């Protein structure tokens, strides 16, 4: 199958998954005021009422302060879902523009030769691989959350709820009430899981193409080097290849800016709420008040994947800078062309990088610092109890 058809098929699959959650931003006719989204808002309102009632019943009626920690974990993930929808909806025009731009790249470069076609295939393979790994992690965790109450009940004989959301007027301690709550929670988990997976697919389908831009730039430099190695190649041909490289580098910088515009808000909310959620989940595990907290901890660790995305972009920017100086045999060019390479090299040293709310860079070092902060916060809470 041609690379362009494979890319369109992947975008179509991502669009289908997003449509299930009433958030198909790829569709140019999409509007917030559609029947499915109205139903979604209705369920969100019901869940909000149950959520508030749970806090009142646990903290006010039963004097159980740990219910705040459990609700903070779930509330943080709900805030992530809302922020992702809001960011994608606000920037839906940019999202469609980027997808159209990528579609044009696949259409143009799949016929430019074996090396460019290989770069396109490698990009698609990475996207598919990341999507499959994400799908396995998400749906394995969600399946664990759904079946864990029944396994726990068979082993211990105790009835525990997966989520913290009590339905007013229905007692979860009774058999019928317990199964009603379990079914309600299972529906929430299933729908939320598909929604989170859809948002990650959107990010994968866009973000990982920075590697494709880098690889295509590499091939363009190879074409330029081959041209400058042949004495019979006209100077105009060399100049055209160099202009094409400069134009492609500008496209790369513009693409990175689009990524920052699309995902900066999502990254800030996701990383900050994940820190709070991980702290609360770990504390619930230490206090042994929530048997299913370890499964939720697995879902919360996506914060480190986001930091990995930031590190990937920073590494790619470094690769592009190194490529301009090391791969390009610039000393074969004329002095005027060498100056053009120098300007491109300077521009590459100030490439856009992802940050967490303009406060700290998004990379592995930030992930390490956040882990230290979570550990410190957890120790403070434990010492406070003692």
- DSSP string of 14-56? HHHHHHHTT--TT-TT--S-SHHHHHHHHHHHHHHHHHHHHHI
> What's this model's pTM, rounded to 2 decimal places?
0.88
Q: In 10 A of CB 314, how many CB atoms? A: 18
> Which residues have a Cβ under 8 Å from the Cβ of 238 and sit 6 or more positions away?
224, 227, 228, 333, 337
Give the pLDDT of residue 375: 85
Written as six digits, the tokens of 282 are 């770990």
The Cα 214–Cα 218 span in angstroms is 6
pLDDT for 232 equals: 72
pLDDT at 315: 92
Burial code (b: 16+ CB inside 10 Å, e: under 16) for 204-215 equals bbbbbbbbbbbb
144/149 Cα distance (integer angstroms):
9
Q: What is the pLDDT of residue 44?
A: 79
First CA to last CA across the chain, in angstroms?
Answer: 63
pLDDT of the residue at 103: 93
Q: What pLDDT sits at residue 67?
A: 82
Distance CA 385, CA 343 (A): 59
Position 386 scores a pLDDT of: 66
Sign of CA dihedral 228, 121, 256, 272: negative
Q: Collect the ranges in the chain with pLDDT lower than 50.
A: none
């Amino acid at each position: 199958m041609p690379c362009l058809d494979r890319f369109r098929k992947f975008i179509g699959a991502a669009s289908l998954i997003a449509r299930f959650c009433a958030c198909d931003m790829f569709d140019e006719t999409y509007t917030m005021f559609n029947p499915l989204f109205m139903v979604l808002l209705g369920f969100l309102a019901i869940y909000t009422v149950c959520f508030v009632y749970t806090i009142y019943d646990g903290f006010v009626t039963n004097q159980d302060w740990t219910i705040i920690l459990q609700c903070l974990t779930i509330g943080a993930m709900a805030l992530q879902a809302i922020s992702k929808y809001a960011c994608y909806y606000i920037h839906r025009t940019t999202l469609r523009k980027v997808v159209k731009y990528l579609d044009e790249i696949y259409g143009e470069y799949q016929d430019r030769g074996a090396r460019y076609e290989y770069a396109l295939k490698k990009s698609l393979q990475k996207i598919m691989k990341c999507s499959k790994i994400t799908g396995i992690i998400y749906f394995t965790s969600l399946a664990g959350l759904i079946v864990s109450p029944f396994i726990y009940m068979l082993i211990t004989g105790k009835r525990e709820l997966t989520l913290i959301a009590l339905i007013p007027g229905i007692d979860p301690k009774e058999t019928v009430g317990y199964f009603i709550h379990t079914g309600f929670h299972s529906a929430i988990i299933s729908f939320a899981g598909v929604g989170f997976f859809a948002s990650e697919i959107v990010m994968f389908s866009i973000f990982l193409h920075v590697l494709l831009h880098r690889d295509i730039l590499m091939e363009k430099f190879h074409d330029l080097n081959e041209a400058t190695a042949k004495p019979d190649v006209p100077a105009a041909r060399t100049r055209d290849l160099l202009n094409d490289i400069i134009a492609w580098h500008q496209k790369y910088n513009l693409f990175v800016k689009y990524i920052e515009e699309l995902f900066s808000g999502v990254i800030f909310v996701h990383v900050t709420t994940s820190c709070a959620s991980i702290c609360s989940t770990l504390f619930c595990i230490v206090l042994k008040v929530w048997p299913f907290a370890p499964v939720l901890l697995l879902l919360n660790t996506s914060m480190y994947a986001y930091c990995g995305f930031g590190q990937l972009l920073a590494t790619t920017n470094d690769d592009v800078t190194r490529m301009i100086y090391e791969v390009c045999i610039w000393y074969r060019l004329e002095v005027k062309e060498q100056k053009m390479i120098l300007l491109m090299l300077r521009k590459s040293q100030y490439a856009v990088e992802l940050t967490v709310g303009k406060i700290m860079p998004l990379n592995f070092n930030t992930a390490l610092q956040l882990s230290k902060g979570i550990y410190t916060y957890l120790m403070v809470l434990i010492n406070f109890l003692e």
